[in-house]
Chain A
Amino acid sequence: MGVGLFQYTVLSVLVFLLGALGLMIRKNVIVMFLCLELMLNGVNILFMALARCRGSVEGQVIVLFVMAVAAAEAAIGMAIITTFYRNRGGVGVDRADLMKW
């Protein structure tokens, strides 16, 4: 049984959901950040699979874009997390409660 589009899709959805789930239940900002990357990469897998399947190049281009954006986002995100750590003395999201009602 070869690896086809279906398998890629399943993998992609699984990775995406794993990321989403992690984002929602973990409290460590860095782990949540990793989960976010996971979600992005889940989508990337689907893009690549579809691009390969359809023999078009657009999907690959979009993946490159997503990776570039993810890299930029990682840089900013890590900077924010560092500052957050300094100001709040930890990286738990429950420490960010200034906007709470």
Chain B
Amino acid sequence: MMVLILAVVLIPLLGATINGLFCWFTKRKAHLIAVPAIAIPAICSLVLLGKVLHGEHFDQVLYWWIPLGDLRVPIGFLLDELSAVMITTVSFVATWIHVYSIGYMDHETPRGYAKYFCYLNLFVFFMLTLCLANNFLLMFVGWEGVGLCSYLLIGYWYEKASAANAGMKAFIVNRIGDFGFMVGLFLIYKHLGTLLFSQAFAQAEHLSVGMATLITLLLFTGATGKSAQIPLYVWLPDAMEGPTPVSSLIHAATMVTAGVYMVARTHAFFNMAPLSMEVVASIGVATALMAATMALVNNDLKRILAYSTVSQLGYMFVGVGVGVYAAGIFHLFTHAFFKGLMFLTAGSVMHALHGELNLQKMGGLIRKMPITGWTFVVGALAIAGIPPLAGFWSKDEILAGAFMGGHKVIWAVGTFTAFLTAFYMFRLIFLTFFGEPRERHLYEHAHESPPVMTIPLIVLAVGSALAGLLALAPHGGIAGFLNRTLGEAHGAVHHEGSVVYVLMAVSVAMGVAGVALAYFMYMRRVPDTVALAANFRPIYTLLYNKYYVDEIYFALIVNPVVGGSRHVLWKFVDVVIIDGAVNGTGRLCRLVGSGLRYLQTGYIPDYAWMILVGAVVIYWIGRLF
């Protein structure tokens, strides 16, 4: 088992190392290393998942990384139901994204191609480390590592100012969250004296409720940064500057789920802090709603998907926040399939249209690229919660959990958001793939992508369609499986027949209603969208400008920091004080030297005189003392 786990973690690292150090050699062949370097771990993690299904667990310290007095931090791995599901999802989706990238990154320079695959492998390595770590610090290593890799990959086209800025934004916003996470770790170590998961969770009940609340809120701060929740979600839409498979891998399927995973992993703490749970669920549902509304009016293909990711992450946090951890992780699992799929199809569309992202210029593309179009429809049906596709099962479990747990408001908002989700997704579909082409020129040149790109689409579409059926597996389905680690849902949700069916019916109705509304608005033009936008001008403007959140952050935080740095730190502290001190030292030396230099006559007898006088003076001084 240990060999398999090490293989899962280290093979991607090996791939990244080879492509990183020998990119001048691998060049166009980089994928020959990178794809197996992630496919092998995917197979290994399937095997591991099978072992875990049979009840095997692994929690072992391999090496004491920081043995420092009382502070002993190991490199060690933990494989249980939760991490098994995580690594399987991550490595499986990542494999297909790697394959897809072969086609998508075709136009890059050979070096850039190898560099891209190096980063991609490195990213998967850190993500798997994060999921398999058996202590907080190693988890944090993975946590920071994925942040680093997302920075590198978002800024992959760093010659473009917007890409470089988006990379920085992602990194800085993540750092803010990470700060909270770190303080949380310090508090855990201070109060429990250990960073090992097994020990920390076993002693969790020794924490006072207040301390547990503080720790969990700090950990959740980290999660809001990594998983793009209010107030730190702003980096994710901008992160679409990276290559599209990167958006698919990092910003849909894997990295952003780290926060959800972390909350589920530390459920022992969260269970002790009801207030934190409330906060998590509330932030989750608020984010879900806010991001969904922002997606309603956006015209950028990838940004809509980005907001949709933020929104779906909100659902996951609702799930873990109301105590149905398994449902949250289940949604993470299904979401990885359909969101990974949708980003890849978006990439396929971009590929066909030479980078065009504006929905208003597309239309009718399904006739040109049927595979891309229909797989996207599958993904959209899945996210809209139409049974029997994946999203229905997981979203429904979250909403049912919220309803049963007594969070009626959260349930209502979540259900409404499900309606919005279906609406904006099908708005996107109708504008992109159906109707009449609005830009003849673009349409004429569109073409279906090569098989290396469409096969991953088909595989992920099958996954999106079928993954949800795991909910029906024996022994309580995937939820029952995960609950072996996560414990019975907090405030135990027992599915009482009729209520569950009513809830299901409501969410399906919401999904269908959203699809139908989108159909009428964008295919039949009733009611007319332009007139609607005109009638609700203030709301439309507010949504179109993303609630001005970026502007507010700029006005409140970025500009004061930049202004303060410029006018105080640079113009005053640096220029006046530091430069003044440095230049002043130099000027003083010159002043003294300009007087003393006249001693240097260059005339040897003068020096002889000075030696003599000096010798006599020293002699007399010696006599005096």
For the complex, what is the distance from the CA of A32 to the CA of B605, rounded to whole Å?
9
Which bracket fits the contact residues of A?
Answer: 10 to 19
B residues 586-625 in Cβ contact with A at 8 Å: 597-598, 600-605, 608-609, 612
For the complex, what is the distance from the CA of A97 to the CA of B607, rounded to whole Å?
13
Binds B, one of A7-15, A19-27, A59-67: A19-27
| Neighbour of B612 across the interface among A20, A25, A97, CB < 8 A | A20
Instruction: Determine the chain A residues whose CB is within 8 A of the CB of B612 once the complex forms.
Output: 20, 24
| Cβ A100 vs Cβ B601 within 8 A | yes
For the complex, what is the distance from the CA of A20 to the CA of B605, rounded to whole Å?
10
Contact with B along A65-101 (1 / 0, CB 8 A): 0000000000000000000000000000110111111
| Cβ B605 vs Cβ A100 within 8 A | no
| Cβ A101 vs Cβ B605 within 8 A | no
A88 to chain B, nearest CB (A): 13
| Cβ A100 vs Cβ B608 within 8 A | no
| Cβ A98 vs Cβ B602 within 8 A | yes
For B598, the closest partner residue in chain A by CB is: A101
Which bracket fits the contact residues of B?
Answer: 10 to 19
Instruction: Determine the chain B residues whose CB is within 8 A of the CB of A26 once the complex forms.
Output: 605
| Cβ B597 vs Cβ A24 within 8 A | no
| Cβ B598 vs Cβ A93 within 8 A | no
| Cβ A94 vs Cβ B603 within 8 A | yes
| Cβ A24 vs Cβ B601 within 8 A | no
Instruction: Determine the chain A residues whose CB is within 8 A of the CB of B601 once the complex forms.
Output: 100-101
For the complex, what is the distance from the CA of A11 to the CA of B496, rounded to whole Å?
126
| Cβ A25 vs Cβ B600 within 8 A | no
| Cβ B605 vs Cβ A25 within 8 A | yes
Instruction: Determine the chain A residues whose CB is within 8 A of the CB of B602 once the complex forms.
Output: 96-101
Evaluate whether A93 and B603 lie within 8 angstroms (CB atoms) in the complex, with A23-B608, A24-B608, A24-B609 already known.
Answer: yes
| Cβ B604 vs Cβ A96 within 8 A | yes
For A20, the closest partner residue in chain B by CB is: B612
A37 to chain B, nearest CB (A): 14
For the complex, what is the distance from the CA of A38 to the CA of B601, rounded to whole Å?
25
| Neighbour of B597 across the interface among A25, A94, A101, CB < 8 A | A101
For the complex, what is the distance from the CA of A26 to the CA of B612, rounded to whole Å?
16
For B594, the closest partner residue in chain A by CB is: A101
Instruction: Determine the chain B residues whose CB is within 8 A of the CB of A93 once the complex forms.
Output: 603-605
For A23, the closest partner residue in chain B by CB is: B608
Instruction: Determine the chain A residues whose CB is within 8 A of the CB of B608 once the complex forms.
Output: 20, 23-24
Instruction: Determine the chain A residues whose CB is within 8 A of the CB of B605 once the complex forms.
Output: 23-27, 32, 93
For the complex, what is the distance from the CA of A98 to the CA of B604, rounded to whole Å?
12
For the complex, what is the distance from the CA of A75 to the CA of B425, rounded to whole Å?
97
| Cβ B604 vs Cβ A100 within 8 A | no
Instruction: Determine the chain B residues whose CB is within 8 A of the CB of A24 once the complex forms.
Output: 605, 608-609, 612
For the complex, what is the distance from the CA of A94 to the CA of B600, rounded to whole Å?
13
B259 to chain A, nearest CB (A): 70
| Cβ B600 vs Cβ A100 within 8 A | yes
For B597, the closest partner residue in chain A by CB is: A101
Contact with A along B38-74 (1 / 0, CB 8 A): 0000000000000000000000000000000000000
For A35, the closest partner residue in chain B by CB is: B608
Instruction: Determine the chain A residues whose CB is within 8 A of the CB of B598 once the complex forms.
Output: 101
Most chain B CB within 10 A, of A25, A94, A101, is at A101
| Cβ B604 vs Cβ A32 within 8 A | yes
A80 to chain B, nearest CB (A): 12
B614 to chain A, nearest CB (A): 13
For the complex, what is the distance from the CA of A94 to the CA of B604, rounded to whole Å?
8
| Cβ B603 vs Cβ A100 within 8 A | yes
For B604, the closest partner residue in chain A by CB is: A93
B491 to chain A, nearest CB (A): 90
A51 to chain B, nearest CB (A): 23
A92 to chain B, nearest CB (A): 10
A84 to chain B, nearest CB (A): 11
For the complex, what is the distance from the CA of A97 to the CA of B612, rounded to whole Å?
21
For B602, the closest partner residue in chain A by CB is: A100
Instruction: Determine the chain A residues whose CB is within 8 A of the CB of B597 once the complex forms.
Output: 101
Instruction: Determine the chain A residues whose CB is within 8 A of the CB of B603 once the complex forms.
Output: 93-94, 96-97, 100
B601 to chain A, nearest CB (A): 6
For the complex, what is the distance from the CA of A26 to the CA of B603, rounded to whole Å?
11
For the complex, what is the distance from the CA of A26 to the CA of B605, rounded to whole Å?
8
For A36, the closest partner residue in chain B by CB is: B608
Instruction: Determine the chain B residues whose CB is within 8 A of the CB of A20 once the complex forms.
Output: 608, 612
B107 to chain A, nearest CB (A): 65
For B593, the closest partner residue in chain A by CB is: A101
For the complex, what is the distance from the CA of A101 to the CA of B597, rounded to whole Å?
6
For B605, the closest partner residue in chain A by CB is: A24
Instruction: Determine the chain A residues whose CB is within 8 A of the CB of B600 once the complex forms.
Output: 99-101
For the complex, what is the distance from the CA of A24 to the CA of B605, rounded to whole Å?
5
B432 to chain A, nearest CB (A): 81
| Sample (8) of A-B pairs whose CB atoms are under 8 Å apart | A20-B608, A93-B603, A93-B604, A97-B602, A97-B603, A98-B602, A101-B600, A101-B602
B binding-site residues for A, Cβ under 8 Å:
597-598, 600-605, 608-609, 612
Q: Which 6 A-B pairs have the closest CB atoms?
A: A100-B602, A99-B602, A101-B597, A97-B602, A24-B605, A93-B604
Given contacts A20-B612, A101-B597, A101-B598, 19 further A-B contacts (CB under 8 A): A23-B605, A24-B605, A24-B608, A24-B612, A26-B605, A27-B605, A32-B605, A93-B604, A94-B603, A96-B602, A96-B603, A96-B604, A97-B602, A97-B603, A100-B600, A100-B601, A100-B602, A101-B600, A101-B602
